[in-house]
Amino acid sequence: MRSARLLALVGLALLAGCATRPSGPAPAERPAGAGTALPAPEARVPDAATYVARAASYDQLVIRAGAVALTDGDAATEGLRRTLAEEHRGLAAQLSFAGRRLNLLPSPVLLANHQAWLDEFAAAPTRAAYLRLMRRVHQNSYSMHAGFADRGASPTLRPVARNAADTERRHFAALR
């Protein structure tokens, strides 16, 4: 069922137009201890290029954090790490596919603040630190994707954002 939904979303992305309009600077991201609930969608929606850059960085951050060996990991956390990394690889592939249509190829390089988050985690990779980082990442990522899915200017990227917001909602529930 998931692959059928993904295929349908990719098909919609291919059929959609590719208009974009800037909506101002991106809002500040939530700090590490920003609560245990998902935030509202971002009020200021990024333009298509900013959305692709931020979304790609979030995906790479989850994938790379999953590759850092935990000093106190358990079987449940390991399974969660594998699942999150695998599903973010799928989101990254979908973003790349849609981005090609708009000539906006996602970068494999993390944004500076995301690299700082990863470096901080890698310095003390405990289970608690991993879960804190993933909650922070998924809260911020959900807010961005949900806002773009509702009000983004690019019809090509809106279905990608909608799928990503749904995925982030599921991931955040698993992280609680």
Q: Would you list the domain boundaries of the chain?
A: 46-175
Within 13 Å of residue 170, how many CA atoms lie on the same side as its CB? Answer: 11
- Whole-angstrom distance, CA of residue 17 vs CA of residue 20: 9
Top CATH class, 46-175: mainly alpha
Q: How many CB atoms lie within 10 A of CB 129?
A: 20
Burial pattern 3-23, b for ≥16 Cβ within 10 A else e, equals: eeeeeebbebbeebebebeeb
Residue 13 has pLDDT above 90, yes or no: no
Closest alpha carbon to 13 in 94, 124, 69, 111: 94
The encoded tokens of residue 166 equal 């749904």
pLDDT, one tens digit per residue, over 65-108 is 999 999 887 888 999 999 999 999 999 999 999 999 999 999 99
- Whole-angstrom distance, CA of residue 97 vs CA of residue 129: 32
The encoded tokens of residue 150 equal 């509702």
pLDDT, one tens digit per residue, over 124-174 is 999 999 999 999 999 999 999 999 999 999 999 999 999 999 999 999 999
pLDDT, one tens digit per residue, over 16-33 is 333 333 333 444 565 544
